[in-house]
Structure 1
């Protein structure tokens, strides 16, 4: 048992394992870079760098042949174990080794920073018009199915079903009825029935906005500035088993669609997944400055008001390029504009580990400076020790 444990520790701390893991990491980065053209950066992050394993499509197409590769989680975890094991087995806590220990600690912190970012980090958008007040952000690549019940004067109860639970045949029980997804497409194309829709799904809606439209599934969007148009044919089925109709829901269709159950009017829709905040932001004014005599953007800036009923806060702030707003663990970046400069778009980022990469890089830089300085001082000392001719 002792021999097995010793061999395991020797293997985990070996330089060969380090070189192998670094080579596999380079291969993973190379393959992910190629696949980014087809899948897009977000999908590549999920499938390759934030996954336990990944598939390498050596022969794509009809005669597809893929081989498995260790994903970023496995490679990163093994690199952390290898680094810790090497320090435990070989490195001693001596003053002259402080630089190397600092470098390795920085690399370890960098790996941990990416791990925590993958788990805790969230990235959304807030699109807000001048004069408008919002208390939520939306995730551009995730959708949700919402069923809205009127529960009082100017009050609604919203049931949000996340994207991970949406698939063809899924059934979601409500009060007195069920919502059944007859067909669900993560990305789709919707056209009027008057167009050539012979290759589209034969299913049609009987109620709502999509009554005279056809739908079919399409490949996922990979461009950074485009989003998937998720759609579904939804049946509303009473508890006695009778269907009151079928609706076409999609985030390509604006607004909610209504249906009636026992004299009560409900609403439903597929929309971008929302992240609600305990505060509101009102856009007072958006400015889009250009260089004189050109249409080249010089600066975007948004004058906002923060309204927080929990703290009683009511103050103005300015968000502009390279000057984000940090508030309650969120960072609001000025990322774009729309609607003839009347709509401002903020990138809303939550990343509790955002400082770790900066600290890690500083530690590596100080460690390298320490190591190089030691070699420099030793070289100067040896040169002084050489007697003059």
Structure 2
């Protein structure tokens, strides 16, 4: 048994394994670069770099035959294991090895930073019109089905059903009624019934805002500047078993749809998934500067007020290019603008390990300086000893 563990240790600490893993990483990056043309960066990141196994089409564009390759998660985990086992088996913790240890520790932290970012990081957007305040951000590529209890004045009690649970036949028990998804489309096209062809789904809504519309399921969007338009036909059944009708919900329909169960008013909608914050941001003014005589953006900035009732805080701050706002574990970047420069788009990043890359790069830099300094001092000392 000891021979098995010794052989396993030799394999995991092997320099050859390091070279193979680095080579496979380069191949994966090359394949993902070409795939980005078809799939877009977000889809490629999920399929290749944040997966354990990456399936690669043998013939680009043809889905008939794919080969498995180690994904980014698997390669990164094996590289970390290779580095740790090699240190425990071969490296001695001596003073003159400090630089090498710091370099490897920095590389290890970089790998861990990417792993933790993939597991715990979130990236959303906040759109603010001038004068508007919001306490939530939206995930532009992920939807949810939201049911809002309006019975308490001034308070919205929201039940959000995530995309992963939205599928044909799914049932959800709520206060006084049951919601059943009759048909779900992760991406769709919605047209007035008079304009719909025979390819459209035959189901129609009997209640709500979209009773005269038809839905056609379409392939998922992967381009950077496009998003899925999720749709669902949902049926509401009260506690007595009586159907209240079928509604068509979609994030293509901007308005929330109202209904009543007994005397309790509700609203429901399919919308972009939200990330709520314990504070609000109000956009006071958006500024968009251009280079003279062109339409090329020179600078754009948002002057906002932070409103935090829990901390009794109300203060102004400026968010502009390369100068984000860091607040309550979130980072707000100035991302874009819309509506004739009256709407600001902020990129909202939640990453609890955002400092790890800075620490890792510092360790690598100090380690390299240490190693080069040792070689320099040895060379100078050797030169001085010469007659």
Please tell me the TM-score bracket, short chain as reference: over 0.9
Q: State the Cα distance separating 1:77 from its structure 2 match.
A: 1.1
Q: Secondary structure at the match of 1:202?
A: coil
User: Contact 1:191–1:197 (CA<8 Å) still a contact in 2?
Assistant: no
User: 2-side partners of 1:63 and 1:33: how far apart?
Assistant: 18
Note if contact 2:99-2:368 (Cα within 8 Å) is conserved in structure 1: yes
In structure 1, distance between residues paired with 2:141 and 2:224: 10
Q: Note if 1:119 corresponds to 2:119.
A: yes
Equivalent residue for 1:250? Answer: 250
> What are the superposed Cα offsets for residues 39-80 of structure 1, whole Å, 9 maximum, x if unpaired?
221222222212222211214667711122222222111111
Change (3 A) 1:63 1:142: closer
Tell me how many residue pairs correspond in the alignment.
387
Asked whether 1:323 is paired with 2:300, we answer no
Q: Does 1:298 align with 2:316?
A: no
Inter-partner Cα distance in structure 2 for 1:239 and 1:364: 63
3-state SS, counterpart of residue 365 of structure 2: helix
1:6 corresponds to 2:6: yes
Quote how far apart the aligned CAs of 1:136 are. 0.7
Residue 354 of structure 1 corresponds to: 354
Q: Tell me the equivalent position of 1:83.
A: 83
- Structure 1 residue 181: Cα displacement: 0.9
Distance (Å, rounded) in 2 between the aligned partners of 1:383 and 1:87? 33
Once the two structures are TM-superposed, the CA of residue 263 in structure 1 deviates from its matched residue by: 3.8
1:83-134, CA deviations, whole angstroms, 9 ceiling, x for partnerless residues?
0111111111222222211111111111011111111211111101111111
| Range that drifts further, 276-285 or 148-157 | 148-157
CA separation in 2, counterparts of 1:107 and 1:231? 44
1:367 positional shift: 1.7
Distance, in Å, in 1 between the alignment partners of 2:218 and 2:386 is: 76
Answer whether contact 1:299 1:321 (CA < 8 A) is retained.
Answer: yes
Tell me, yes or no, if the aligned pair for 1:208 and 1:248 is still in contact at 8 Å: yes
Residue in structure 2 matched with residue 20 of structure 1 by the alignment: 20
Aligned equivalents of 1:60, 1:198: Cα separation in 2: 32
Partner of 2:163: 163
Aligned to 1:195: 195
Q: Residue 382 and residue 154 in structure 1: after superposition, are their counterparts in 2 closer, same or farther (change >3 A)? A: closer
Answer with 54-63 or 347-356: which moved more.
54-63
**What is the correspondence of 1:146-185 to structure 2 with a 5 Å cutoff?**
146-185=146-185
Q: Superposition RMSD on alpha carbons, in Å? A: 1.7
1:172-321 map, 5 Å: 172-321=172-321
**CA distance in structure 2 between the partners assigned to 1:104 and 1:97 by the alignment:** 11
> How far 1:180 moved relative to its partner?
1.0
Q: Which moved more, 1:225-234 or 1:35-44?
A: 35-44
**TM-score, length basis structure 1:** 0.95
Could you tell me how far 1:241 is from its partner in structure 2?
3.4
Q: TM-score, with normalisation over the residues of structure 2?
A: 0.95
Preserved CA contact (<8 Å) 2:133 2:282: yes
Question: SS of 2:158's equivalent?
Answer: strand
Distance 2:308 2:77 in 1: 41
Aligned to 2:141: 141
Tell me the SS of whatever aligns to 2:224: coil
Q: Which ranges in structure 2 are unaligned for 5 or more consecutive residues?
A: none
Shift of 1:268: 0.8
1:196 CA drift (Å) = 4.2
How far is the alpha carbon of 1:264 from its aligned partner?
3.3
Unpaired runs of at least 5, structure 1: none
Give yes or no for the alignment of 1:71 onto 2:96: no
Instruction: Provide the C-alpha distance between the structure 1 equivalents of 2:374 and 2:83, rounded to a whole number of angstroms.
Output: 23
- Secondary structure in 1 matching 2:195: coil
Q: Is the 8 A contact 1:25 1:75 kept in 2?
A: yes
How far did residue 386 of structure 1 move? 4.2
Corresponding residue number in structure 1 for 2:55: 55
| Aligned counterparts of 1:210 and 1:225: Cα–Cα separation in 2 | 26
Distance 1:43 1:246 in 2: 33
Q: CA deviation at 1:192?
A: 1.4
Partner of 1:364: 364
Shift of 1:385: 4.0
Contact 2:151 2:264 in 1 (8 A): no
